[in-house]
Amino acid sequence: MHINKAIKKFISLALAEDSASRDVTTGLLISEGIRARAKIIAKEPGVLCGLDIAKTVFKQLDKRVVFRVLKKEGAVLTRFEEVALIRGPARAILQAERIALNFLSFLSATATLTAKFIEQVKGIDVKIMDTRKTIPNLRCFQKYAVSVGGGINHRSSLSEAVLIKDNHLKAGCFFNKKRLDSKKLAALFGSSAVRTLAKAEVEVENLDEFKQVIKLNPGIIMLDNFSLVSLKKAVRLRNEYCLRTPSLKQRILLEASGGIALKNIRAVALTGVDRISIGLITHSPKAIDFSLEIRR
């Protein structure tokens, strides 16, 4: 991961939150001149992510710390595998330990879960994508971890792409008696102010909405919480529409979203959708356990 000023600032905030430089226990027990060696161990299998960030935590606290990377980012780890060796001032190593391990544990968890989803759809032409369901101010870290795990990043912020969701349509009064107002939506897509919306993604909640939206030729249609049967029908309808609409510059992409888990993702992928977006990989990954051990 490229360690820029923003990331260094965030690491500084994390160290400040932990009062690392005012560690009373280390200050009482460890003299200023004592040096130490340590190793970081993965205590369970997983996909390694965040080692450069962990290194930066130690170096940012004390430049004299030497951090030797033993495994590459994205490496598949076995239990009790060593990932890094550290030497330098003992105080700095102990003070930075928890923050560095927290980053490793958190990011490796996301990379590991992403890789599990990727494995489930092996051999199928589909993209596994993240969402904006991330911890505030940690999005860049989490989306980086998704990419390390083999996933694709969806938009990173509201400014990056147009994604018209159900609440936009409801708030904008695009429904008439609980049904999409096709004329009003068509006027939106046809207005000179929003011509770029032809590349937009639009969320639909059922096949009736899908049939209305596809006629507007959006770049992507998000199929929210569709059943497998409905997903297959949407794919078939999309394929038929694209075949009989030669004016389309590119095929309309279909994205499945909502209720995606390891147990059903392969079945979803086999319906023929182009993309699957999964909030689970960033909002609910299980932490990967790492430990730092002082070497005697």
Catalytically annotated residues: 98, 133, 165, 203, 224
Query: Within the chain, where are the H helices?
Result: 5-17, 24-29, 51-61, 90-120, 139-148, 166-171, 182-190, 207-214, 228-243, 265-269, 280-283
Q: What are phi and psi of 124, to 5 degrees?
A: -110, 135
Token duo for residue 189: 């897509």
What type of residue sits at position 65?
A: V
Q: What are phi and psi of 85, to 5 degrees?
A: -120, 140
The C-alpha R_g of the chain, in whole angstroms, comes to 24
Q: What angle do CA 279, 283, 286 make, to 5 degrees?
A: 120
